[in-house]
């Protein structure tokens, strides 16, 4: 009995700690994007939505804890078992919404910095797939028994049928893991091709590869699903699957949000924000404010002979795509900055089509 209580309390403690940490990180992310780099976007709002749903999941864990989570069905009252099963349906829906919202947020971030057309199309295709997949998962949760209340009918009097939830959980978990891996490898080819120093290329790859932690959590969660679905007493073995679901969701939020905080702790970024000075990297053009240290005039005809894809760590911090920057017209030509010492040196050429 003591061991069961300790296991249940450990699950709740880990869930509370991770969710609180995720909340702090997401709030700092929103602040950084809104007030430091001044470039808040749909990916940030989507991640905020995912966090709110994870908080709902945490509240549901408290509900099933009160109703005997981690204890055998033999010692639970019928009311407690019904409450657990009803709450479990809500948990399933919140899990599928949150895990897919996290992935969608990452893809929306990719789209903000996408320069290559193929990379952009791949991101959009994956994003649309995730939206459809999320809807299918939620519908399956709502119709896993027809009528749904047959799921918590212990009298056998309710007529109806239920789907094979074991197959559903295995399938959706496998798809989630495969999509995690796909999202991890999706930007690597593009990042390795950009014209940046080798050290910075690998730094960029490392930033995007933080998601491997969440992928590992997804794999461990799949093992906990096997324990839950093969159990003769699912009430008794409900703790591990909820624990690892919370670990997976929160590590996903953290790994996707922490890279955005670098600008918050960067003195140079804060100074540029306070001074109203911004430097931009672009495959098409670069624009600066008039107080740049040095500018030079380039005609569209002379500069439009080639295009370069350029990223920098600061592009990733700001969440900017290289072809969406501000520009300033002066005397019939675009002003092009020879970046100051705060900013990495980048060759930028003008695109006459802009």
What average pLDDT does range 208-220 have in this prediction?
A: 83
Q: How confident is the model at residue 318 (pLDDT cuts 50, 70, 90)?
A: low
pLDDT above 90 covers what percent of the chain?
Answer: 46
In the predicted model, is pLDDT for residue 309 greater than 80? Answer: no
Structural domain that includes position 315: 276-337
Number of domains in the chain: 2
Most confident of 48-57, 60-69, 163-172, 198-207: 48-57
Domain membership flag for residue 176? yes
Write out the two tokens for 337.
Answer: 């900055």
Q: Specify whether 290 is located in the same domain as 180.
A: no
164 Cβ partners below 8 Å, 6+ apart? Answer: none
pLDDT of residue 122: 94
> What mean pLDDT value characterizes the chain?
78
- 193 with 326, same domain: the answer is no
Residue with tokens 């991640």: 47
Shortest CA distance to 94 belongs to which of 205, 216, 245?
Answer: 245
In this prediction, residue 298 carries a pLDDT of: 42
**Is residue 190 located within the same domain as residue 300?**
no
Q: For position 314, what pLDDT does the model report?
A: 55
Domain final residue pick, 218, 233, 265: 265
pLDDT digits (tens, 9 = 90+) for 25-52: 999 999 999 999 888 999 999 999 999 9
**Mean predicted confidence (pLDDT) in 225-245:** 89
Helix, strand, or coil (residue 255)? helix
Mark whether 233 and 292 lie in a shared domain: no
| Stronger pLDDT, 255 or 319, i.e. the higher one | 255
- Whether residue 245 has pLDDT greater than 70: yes
Give 16-20 contacts, CB < 8 A, sequence gap 24+: 16/58, 18/246, 18/247, 18/250, 18/251, 19/54, 19/55, 19/58, 19/246, 19/250
- CA 195, CA 310: separation in Å to the nearest integer? 6
Spatial contact of 258 and 209, defined as CB atoms under 8 Å apart: no
Q: Do 187 and 291 fall into the same domain? A: no
On whether both 232 and 320 belong to a single domain, the answer is no
One domain, residues 192 and 314? no
With a cut of 80, say whether residue 61 has pLDDT above it. Answer: yes
- Judged against a pLDDT cut of 90, whether residue 170 lies above it is answered with yes
Quick one: CA torsion of 184, 187, 188, 193, rounded to 10 degrees? 180
Cα–Cα distance for residue pair 124/224, rounded to 1 Å:
32
Q: Which of 134, 141, 168 is nearest to 46 (CA)?
A: 134
Least confident of 48-52, 76-80, 232-236, 278-282: 278-282
What are the start-end ranges of the H helices in 67-77? none
Based on the domain organization, do 247 and 295 belong to the same domain?
no
For 105-163, what is each residue's pLDDT tens digit?
Answer: 999 999 988 878 899 999 999 999 999 999 999 999 999 999 999 999 888 888 999 99
Other C-beta atoms within 10 Å of 354: how many? 12
Q: Is residue 288 part of a domain?
A: yes
345 occurs within a structural domain? no
């Amino acid at each position: 009995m003591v061991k069961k209580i300790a296991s249940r309390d450990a699950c709740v403690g880990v869930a509370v700690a991770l969710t609180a940490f995720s909340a702090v990180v997401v709030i700092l992310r929103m602040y950084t994007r809104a007030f430091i780099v001044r470039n808040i976007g749909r990916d940030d709002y989507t991640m905020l939505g995912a966090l709110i749903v994870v908080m709902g999941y945490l509240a549901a864990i408290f509900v099933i804890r009160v109703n005997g989570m981690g204890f055998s069905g033999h010692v639970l009252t019928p009311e407690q078992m019904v409450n657990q099963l009803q709450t479990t349906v809500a948990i399933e829906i919140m899990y599928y919404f949150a895990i897919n919202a996290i992935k969608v947020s990452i893809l929306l971030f990719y789209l903000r910095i996408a320069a290559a057309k193929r990379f952009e199309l791949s991101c959009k295709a994956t994003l649309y797939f995730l939206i459809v997949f999320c809807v299918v998962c939620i519908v399956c949760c709502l119709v896993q028994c027809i009528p749904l209340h047959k799921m918590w009918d212990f009298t056998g009097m309710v007529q109806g049928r239920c789907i094979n939830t074991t197959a559903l959980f295995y399938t959706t978990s496998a798809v989630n893991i495969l999509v995690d891996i796909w999202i991890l490898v999706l930007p690597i080819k593009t990042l390795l091709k950009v014209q940046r120093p080798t050290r910075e290329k690998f730094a960029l790859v490392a930033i995007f590869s933080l998601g491997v932690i969440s992928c590992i959590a997804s794999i461990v969660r799949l093992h906990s699903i096997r324990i839950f679905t093969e159990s003769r007493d699912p009430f008794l073995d409900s703790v591990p699957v909820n624990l690892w679901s919370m670990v997976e969701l929160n590590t996903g939020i953290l790994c996707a949000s922490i890279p955005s905080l670098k600008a918050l702790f960067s003195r140079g970024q804060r100074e540029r924000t306070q001074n109203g000075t911004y430097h931009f990297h672009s495959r098409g053009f670069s624009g600066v404010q008039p107080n740049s240290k040095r500018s030079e005039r380039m005609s569209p005809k002379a500069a439009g002979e080639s295009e370069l894809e350029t990223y920098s760590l600061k592009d990733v911090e700001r969440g900017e795509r290289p072809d969406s920057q501000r520009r300033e017209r002066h005397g019939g030509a675009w002003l092009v900055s020879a970046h100051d010492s705060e900013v990495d040196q980048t060759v930028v050429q003008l695109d006459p089509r802009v």
